[in-house]
């Protein structure tokens, strides 16, 4: 709690001196410095008219008067400085974490802990959003503020859900009986009447959406896999089990839903936190503490368990998951894989009988995926936990799963054991044929000697690249290979090297003509969205790009194969952009970026977070764009997608481009 920081002291000193100066100025202006001593400046006394008749201004300035006014200001200046000294020595933020553990102000203290942990992340968010704004060519404050606020709200909802399932704010704790851990029979999940389009939460399904669960029964010691495309209701199914669906997402549940023998509709998640452990999707944005140890110990702390027992429990859970080495770490310094492991440890800390895990493998590398698979396997089959995992990467978990349920067309259906586990991910994405338009050989983009240094590290090393009209090129390589940096350097050239599009140096182009040459869809493509309806978003894109009205709208609808005038088109255009499905949203981002009719289209990780259906949607959009004679380049670590779509794949490693980057190489 005590530490020394010079900044507050300096700040206070400036404030104190400023206070004295301002007081002297007030008194000079309002006839307050004509005391004893020599007259320094004899200004005339000015009397103001009514209603300020009692006020006199200016008047003579004497040395004694000046000194008096300085002297009279000293006590208060001293108080200001004293507060600065106190501020310099006391670190209040430590008090927040302490207060959040219990006591009458724990609500306020927890709020401040969350705020404290959010501030540093804001810097990154601002950087990313302003980059997206620049790429879109917008200048208004709205294009910065709106995505930033959307991110903030998204984080808030994630934190809230993560706290709820860990027992935050529970008035009582319900114990599980010895009944079957999960028993759902003839259950129908829906979203209530309040879920009209304007009011629904981010990504919430619209009214009329239902999910039928005829029988979903999981005994102890089993691992069950729930699969299905994005948006089919995997998360809704898990939220129904955890109770978030009915008590947090304003959803409806009909039928017989028992978890640990308890009716799921009547008991909120916070009261079952003792025996239901939950790992939410993308756990990183839902972390509510500053350190890994605090995060893992959140549930027992919220329950009011004494600190020594909490730390014993934390050590135990960390050891079980294998993250003991991370305990002292700042929660923000975790990689995606570590974050998932920490979230699993946080869900295990109360030794739950049931563990619900949503998309644990998303955005993880192969090694981390294996580790998590082994962990889930051992929890179910060695420790007798009832584990339910929602994941669209079926193949990876099928070997350890005892049963599999698949969600198709609004139903959760059991897939008989022994049935062929078709790799759902690759199934329908490959439906389209390879890009029909062969390489015409006319180079649209020629980049030579691109060199980018980021934070002292070479991100892109002397890269040269040609992109031809009508072709789709894939840049592949591991995380950190420099793919994103290269795309950015092509779209907004400022580093060493030259980027020419149809012979013109891109670095010399102004905002508008640059957008007509190169368009880049950033990885966090939702940052491009800032309007309240898709229709308005399209109009805004036309305006910014000085395109003919209706251009973006027509392109967006064409990408999705929706004809203008149909009800599908009307629904798409009327929705809030963030209520569109992930795939539709990415297509919208591509349409927005193409508003200025760029001849080169670059897309960073076009399939991030997409399932098979959404991927085929995006693949079709990219083929359309290439078919219009554009040069299209994607950066991806999704090799399957690259193979199926691109005519040319260029590997990238440690900032260096592999073979096949130049046009001569294409011809040979």
Partner 1 sequence: MKWSPRVQTPLVWGGHLLAAAAFAWPLFAPAVPAKAQGAVPFVALALAPLAAVTLVFVLDGSVRSAKVLALLGTLTAVGAAVRVVGTGVGGIEAVFVLLILAGRAYGARFGFLLGVFVILLSSTLQGGFGPWTPFQMFACGWVGAGAGLLPRLRGARSKLAEIAMLAGYGVLASYAFGLIMNFWYWPFAVGTGAGISYEPGASLGENLGSFLLYSLITSTASWDTLRAITTVIGLAVAGPAVLAALRRAKLPRDALR
Site for partner 1 in 60-99 (CB under 8 A): 68-69, 72-73, 76, 79-80, 83-84, 86-88, 92-93
3-state class of 236 per DSSP? helix
Q: Which parts of 187-246 interact with partner 1 (CB under 8 A)?
A: 194, 198-202
Residue 636 DSSP SS3: strand
Number of residues located near partner 1, criterion CB under 8 A? 87
Q: Give φ, ψ of 526 to 5 degrees.
A: -65, -20
Q: Of 140, 192, 410, 478, which lies in the binding site for partner 1, with binding defined by CB under 8 A?
A: 140
Region 29-58 residues binding partner 1, contact defined as CB under 8 A:
29-32, 48, 51-52, 54-57
- Answer yes or no whether residue 18 interacts with partner 1 by CB under 8 A: no
628 binds partner 1 (CB under 8 A): no
In the complex, the smallest distance separating the C-beta of residue 56 from partner 1, rounded to whole angstroms, is 5
- Residue 187: strand, helix, or coil: strand
Q: What is the DSSP string of 321-347?
A: HT-GGGTTSBGGG--HHHHHHHHHHHH
Restricting to residues 172-191, name those near partner 1 by CB under 8 A.
none
Distance in angstroms (rounded) separating the CA atoms of residues 205 and 302: 32
Residue 273 near residue 173, CB atoms below 8 Å? yes
Piece of the chain touching partner 1 by CB under 8 A; list 18-26, 309-317, 441-449, 558-566: 18-26
| Of 105 and 131, CB closest to partner 1 | 105
Task: Provide the 8-state DSSP code for 2.
Answer: B
342 binds partner 1 (CB under 8 A): no
- The answer to whether 489 contacts partner 1 (rule: CB under 8 A) is no
The CB-of-160 to partner 1 minimum distance in angstroms stands at 4
- Contact between residue 137 and residue 515 where contact means Cβ atoms under 8 Å apart: yes
Rounded-to-integer distance, Cα 609 and Cα 523, Å: 10
Of 90 and 453, CB closest to partner 1: 90
- Is 102 near partner 1 (CB under 8 A)? no
Q: Answer for the pair 646, 616: CB distance below 8 angstroms, yes or no.
A: no
Q: How far is CA 53 from the centre of its chain?
A: 61
Is 260 one of the binding residues for partner 1 (CB under 8 A)?
no
Please list every residue from 568 through 597 that binds partner 1, using CB under 8 A: 576, 578
Q: Which of 43, 105, 421, 498 binds partner 1 (CB under 8 A)?
A: 105
On whether the CB atoms of residues 445 and 409 are closer than 8 A, the answer is no
Helical ranges in 525-611 per DSSP H: 534-545, 551-559, 567-574, 582-593
User: How does DSSP classify residue 514?
Assistant: H
Q: Is 11 in the site for partner 1 (CB under 8 A)?
A: yes
Binding mask 522-551 for partner 1 (x = CB under 8 A): --------xxx-------------------
Alpha helices in 594-662, H assignment, sequence order: 612-627, 639-645
Closest CA relative to residue 243, chosen from 341, 157, 161? 161
Token output for 327: 């305990």
266 near partner 1, judged by CB under 8 A: no
The window from 109-117, 397-405, 476-484, 633-641 that contacts partner 1 (CB under 8 A) reads 109-117
Name residues contacting partner 1, limited to 269-328 (CB under 8 A).
270, 288
């Amino acid at each position: 709690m005590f530490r020394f920081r010079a900044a507050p002291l300096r700040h206070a000193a400036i404030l104190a001196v400023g206070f004295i100066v301002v007081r002297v100025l007030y008194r000079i202006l309002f006839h307050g410095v004509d005391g004893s001593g020599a007259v320094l400046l004899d200004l005339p006394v000015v009397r103001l008219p009514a209603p300020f008749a009692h006020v006199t201004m200016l008047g003579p300035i004497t040395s004694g008067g000046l000194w008096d006014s300085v002297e009279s200001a000293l006590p208060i200046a001293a108080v200001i400085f004293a507060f600065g000294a106190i501020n310099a020595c006391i670190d209040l933020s430590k008090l927040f974490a302490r207060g959040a553990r219990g006591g009458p102000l724990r609500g306020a203290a927890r709020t401040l802990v969350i705020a404290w942990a959010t501030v540093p992340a804001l810097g990154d968010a601002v950087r990313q959003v302003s980059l997206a704004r620049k790429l879109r060519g917008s200048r208004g404050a709205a294009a910065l503020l709106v995505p930033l606020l959307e991110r903030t709200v998204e984080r808030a909802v994630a934190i809230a859900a993560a706290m709820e399932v860990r027992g935050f704010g529970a008035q009582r704790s319900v114990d599980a009986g010895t009944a079957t851990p999960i028993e759902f029979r003839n259950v129908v999940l829906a979203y209530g009447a309040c879920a009209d389009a304007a009011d629904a939460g981010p990504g919430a399904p619209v009214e009329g959406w239902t999910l039928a669960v005829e029988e979903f029964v999981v005994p102890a010691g089993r691992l069950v896999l729930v699969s299905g495309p994005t948006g089919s209701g995997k998360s809704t199914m898990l939220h129904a089990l955890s109770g978030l669906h009915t008590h947090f997402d304003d959803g409806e549940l009909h039928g017989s839903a028992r978890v640990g023998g308890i009716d799921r509709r009547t008991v909120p998640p916070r009261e079952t936190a003792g025996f239901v452990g939950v790992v939410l999707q993308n756990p990183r944005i839902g972390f509510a503490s500053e350190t890994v140890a605090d995060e893992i110990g959140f549930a027992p702390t919220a329950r009011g368990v004494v600190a020594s027992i909490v730390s014993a429990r934390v050590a135990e859970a960390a050891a079980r998951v294998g993250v003991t080495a991370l305990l002292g770490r700042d929660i923000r310094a975790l990689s995606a894989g570590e974050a998932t492991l920490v979230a699993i440890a946080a869900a295990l800390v109360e030794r739950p009988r049931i563990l619900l895990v949503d998309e644990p493998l998303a955005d993880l590398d192969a090694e981390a995926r294996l580790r998590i698979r082994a962990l889930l396997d051992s929890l179910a089959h060695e420790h007798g936990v009832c584990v339910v995992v929602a994941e669209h990467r079926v193949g990876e978990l099928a070997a350890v799963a005892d049963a599999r349920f698949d969600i198709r067309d609004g139903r959760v259906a059991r897939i008989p054991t022994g049935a062929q586990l078709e790799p759902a991910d690759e199934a329908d994405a490959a439906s389209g044929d390879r890009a029909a338009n062969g390489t015409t050989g006319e180079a649209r983009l020629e980049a030579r000697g691109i060199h980018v240094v980021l934070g002292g590290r070479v991100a892109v090393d002397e890269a040269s690249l040609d992109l031809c009209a009508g072709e789709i090129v894939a840049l592949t390589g591991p995380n950190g290979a420099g793919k994103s940096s290269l795309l950015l350097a092509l779209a907004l050239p400022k580093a060493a090297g030259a980027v020419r599009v149809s012979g013109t140096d891109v670095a010399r182009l102004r905002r508008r003509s640059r957008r007509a040459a190169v368009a880049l869809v950033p990885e966090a493509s939702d940052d491009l969205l800032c309007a309240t309806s898709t229709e308005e978003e399209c109009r805004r894109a036309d305006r910014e790009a000085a395109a003919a009205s209706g251009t973006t709208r027509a392109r967006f609808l064409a990408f999705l194969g929706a004809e203008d005038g149909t009800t599908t088109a009307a629904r798409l255009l009327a929705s809030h952009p963030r209520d569109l499905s992930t795939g539709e949203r990415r297509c919208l981002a591509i349409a927005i970026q193409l508003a200025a009719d760029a001849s080169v289209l670059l897309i960073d990780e076009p399939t991030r977070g997409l399932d098979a259906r959404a991927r085929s949607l995006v693949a079709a959009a990219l083929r359309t764009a290439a078919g219009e004679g554009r040069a299209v380049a994607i950066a991806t670590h999704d090799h399957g997608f690259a193979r199926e779509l691109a005519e040319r794949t260029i590997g990238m490693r440690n900032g260096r481009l592999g073979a096949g980057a130049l046009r001569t190489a294409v011809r040979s």
